[in-house]
A and B are shown apart, each in its own frame.
Chain A
């Protein structure tokens, strides 16, 4: 999933300062799962904004709405009926959702209320960790199901570097060395020969380095 965290309240108050009536819009997908921008978080932020602005002597009308999926134009369309009533839309979706809404409602300021962090998974309750860098050419089949790009601090192939010690990364004792994990898993799978095969320098065109990416499925196009 895409993970996110709510922006600091000071920054949020600053960004809504010019407005008197806003629509706070959550998303029922990834940001709900990571407790950053679902219906519950929308309600909490709306209350905090109303109280904060009341205290400042500049009341703010905050209406709440949570879309099924903010990154989908079909669902973003649901805002069309009400959006004209507001000075701004404040989105608690990831950057994809914010941009989908901004693209649809060109004349209206659309402000992000969360910082989109990474593609990751839940390690345990309340802990999410980065797992995929979206490089566009998956190597997990060669690395024991552990991504060296998303999980190695230096994003190196053919690791580890000299900073791996007792299974931990030199940047912090709390960070596992991805290449130690890869080695351990390959041993477990009986695939250590994969480790001894030197991977060629990665072609980064499939990643963000080749420019903004699109997927076009002609079989799906209407």
Chain B
């Protein structure tokens, strides 16, 4: 079933994020993808996330699609102007990748090519407008297209600041919303309640903690993140810490089933753990 149809089905959706490799050896990437086949409703392929240069999202998404996975392709507004974004949106359609969403992109100086020039021609809101325009057969310059692409559009809640912004994205045509990583279900509940009937499926991100250090780093450096001391203590005192991290993520996913329409599993390089999280989360 296409992802667009799954969004209409009311069932809880499982998504997984898969970073493309930094290079052209696709063995591990494809292997991880194969393990997700039939287990997730879609795989989200980020576009040069954290401003780290790697294989283009469109290429990675195309590889995963060929493996039989439903894919969401992200487009970073940081790295392309409106010509390139529109051209790549058309490319996505031609490649059979109709699920698209934009991110503003993390600051370039946080990445591995800190001297690069940022573009930022369009914001994610303007990206949605551009994609909607293309779907109606016109580009941003008002020129008519030969053949109309079809998109299932999404938006990142973070790119639109808050619930009010996310609702604006829905008005612009987003049919799914990706919320930032949830570590505290109670803290997430008000946002989930506010977006419950907004007309789009709210999908919460679940970031796999990989260590106590990572949890502490997130608490100290990422605004809005509050990983409880109880969780940190639980991971620290576990005999098998990575396995405990997997359990924590799976429990968060289970808790989210009461709050929103789906979970996006983010494993930041530990994509091989995705099946384990899914095993526990779907029990």
- A residues with a Cβ closer than 8 A to B are 201-205, 207, 209-211
Contact = CB atoms under 8 A, between A and B. Distances in A.
A190 B154 CA distance: 58
Chain A contact residues, majority secondary structure: loop
Nearest to B120: A209
Task: Give 9 closest A-B pairs by Cβ, nearest first.
Answer: A203-B115, A204-B117, A209-B118, A209-B117, A210-B109, A205-B115, A204-B115, A205-B109, A205-B114
Contact of A211 (B109, B116, B117): B109
A201 B107 contact: no
Chain B contact residues, majority secondary structure: loop
Interface string B106-130: 0111000011111000000000000
Contacts of B118: 204, 209
A210 B118 CA distance: 8
Contacts of A209: 108, 116-118
Contacts of B116: 204, 209
A205 B108 CA distance: 9
A205 B114 CA distance: 7
16 contacts: A202-B117, A203-B115, A204-B116, A204-B117, A204-B118, A205-B114, A205-B115, A207-B117, A209-B108, A209-B116, A209-B117, A209-B118, A210-B108, A210-B109, A210-B114, A211-B107
Contacts of B114: 203, 205, 210
A212 to B, nearest CB: 11
Interface in B81-134: 107-109, 114-118
Given A204-B117, A210-B109, 12 more contacts: A201-B115, A202-B117, A203-B115, A204-B108, A204-B115, A205-B114, A205-B115, A207-B117, A209-B108, A209-B117, A210-B108, A211-B109
A37 to B, nearest CB: 29
A202 B107 CA distance: 17
B109 A202 contact: no
A208 to B, nearest CB: 9
A207 B114 CA distance: 12
A210 B113 CA distance: 12
Contacts of B108: 204, 209-210
Interface in B24-67: none
